[in-house]
Amino acid sequence: MTTAADGTSLAHVDAVLSDVAATRSRTAKTAALATLLASARPDEVEALVGVLLGRPRQGRVGIGWRGLQTARAAASPAGAPSLTVRDLDRALERYAALGGSGSAAARSAVLAGLFTAATEPEQDLLMRVLGGEVRTGALEGVLVDAAAAAAGLPKDAVRRAVMLGGSLGGTIARALLEPDAVAGIGLAVGVPVQPMLASTAANVGDGLRVVDGPASVEHKLDGARIQVHRRGTDVRVFTRTLADVTGRVPEIVDAARALPCSDVILDGESLTLDQDGAPRPFQETMSRFGASAPRAELLAPRFFDVLHVDGRDLIDEPLRRRREELTRLAPDLLIDGAVTDDADEAARVLDEALAAGHEGVMIKDVDSPYAAGRRGKAWLKVKPVHTYDLVVLAAEWGSGRRRGWLSNLHLGALDPAGDYGEPGEFVMVGKTFKGLTDELLRWQTATFPQYETRRTQHAVFLRPELVVEIAIDGVQASSRYPGGVALRFARVKRYRDDKPPADADTIGTLRSLLRT
């Protein structure tokens, strides 16, 4: 094993991950990861967190699955382990810095060097880390708890710091190096915050009963989530995955600069509108949102929350006060809605939202704080048709007129607690080929091999990274799938390029639809 002076060896990380994968006990997972974090060098903690999650701190840096397969196939495994976390991190730094003429060959050489220096188990680990497939139950929640244990800090304090700190690895590193500083980590204008998330209610009546009191019933827009930070004239715009897209959305920057304040953090949606002010299809919004060159279509920002204004943090304030402040700041950009505990009034807002071309409504507890990164019952989404964000696990080859196309999708729901397998894995809940246009079939057939892990004669199995919105009429109890539930009349609505797999709907949410 690599000595402490050399840093944490990949062989040691692989051994710990094997131990973590071998147990379903959250306590045991936390203890193993805490020991690993506590023994790491200060300058490698952030990189180590990236390895554990299969998300290197440099990002994906353009390494494709086929490139990994080619590099491994060309490299004979080393006879003894020698690679460290720092070696991998430095190699990725070199890889990310390469560009221009000859960069493809230079990048291939960097990958070849890594795989040549790795033993066979280390090569397996490199494939999983660089391919984003480290799915051993070492999820963010477990890792955050492990960091708290390693630093001797309360779990809630570290969890809050991670939500507000902008970087999981950086915040964990700070917790280990400066534990006394964790309590002081708060909102910082310019540092993106993990967004608060919503659960699902079947209808407005159920939603109001869950909230059990006055609720803010707001139009649910079919747009792209945005978080806008402004300090003086400097504006930054982030996506729901905290990617900085400021340069792509000058119209949102201009809108933020026009607000009557100096510093602000806003949460909302952006969407394209037609000449009458009605929302355009989601695909058009995402096409405009992702464009780096100027486009004729303009994005309209609409806000539903404010987290900070002119030196005052608001996330611990109740929603009713945050909405009052938002109404003062941006009345023309405020998402429509009403505060009520009356089901008829909530239904009126829902009808109004649908008539305006929106998805449905959000029902929010007006006394709730902003729970960054959490999905609880304080925010509930209500749509007239059940739609859920699931992950594609595999696709079967079509027959008849669909022959030669990847068609029938295997769909998975997130199992965050590990009730039906490893925490953070995806539980299959059904299949569907309904709703797939010829255009989508062609796209799937061209795209899915990029996520392939294996294939059989009839199907291609994928890394669980593609989120797809599925409409269903309900669910039914089923012994066919391990979660005990199957989708009824599932059909594809669209792919959600704006959502990571961690934000997919859970098996618990689907099971809650079962009639008791």
Report the catalytic residues.
220
Phi-psi region at 292: left, alpha or beta (left = phi > 0; alpha = psi -120 to 50): alpha
Is the alpha carbon torsion for 32, 38, 40, 43 positive or negative? positive
Helix (H) or strand (E) holding 29: helix 26-39
Which positions ≥6 away from 239 have C-beta within 8 Å? 224, 225, 226, 227, 245, 498
- What values do phi and psi take at 47, rounded to 5? -65, -35
Separation in Å, CA 262 to CA 20, 250, 463, 466, 501: 47, 18, 44, 39, 35
**Axis crossing angle, helix 155-165 with helix 140-151, rounded to the nearest 10:** 120
Report the DSSP beta bridge partners of residue 244. 238
Which amino acid, 426? F
Coil, helix or strand at residue 21: helix
**Axis crossing angle, helix 85-97 with helix 103-117, rounded to the nearest 10:** 170
- Which of 169, 175, 170 has its CA nearest to residue 50? 169
Give dist(CA 39, CA 4) in Å, integer. 8
Give dist(CA 346, CA 203) in Å, integer. 10
Give dist(CA 279, CA 131) in Å, integer. 37
Q: Quick count: other Cβ atoms within 10 Å of Cβ 74?
A: 12
Residue 510: alpha-carbon gap to chain centroid: 19
Is residue 263 within 8 Å of 325, Cβ to Cβ? no
Phi-psi region at 497: left, alpha or beta (left = phi > 0; alpha = psi -120 to 50): alpha
Is residue 77 within 8 Å of 40, Cβ to Cβ? no
Give dist(CA 425, CA 429) in Å, integer. 13
DSSP of 190-230, one letter per residue? TS--PPPEEEE-SSHHHHHHHHTS-EEEEEE-SSEEEEEEE
Report the DSSP beta bridge partners of residue 245. none
Give dist(CA 424, CA 464) in Å, integer. 11
Per the structure block, which two tokens stand in for 141? 């929640």
Give dist(CA 330, CA 349) in Å, integer. 21
Report the DSSP beta bridge partners of residue 305. 267
Per the structure block, which two tokens stand in for 21? 């994968």
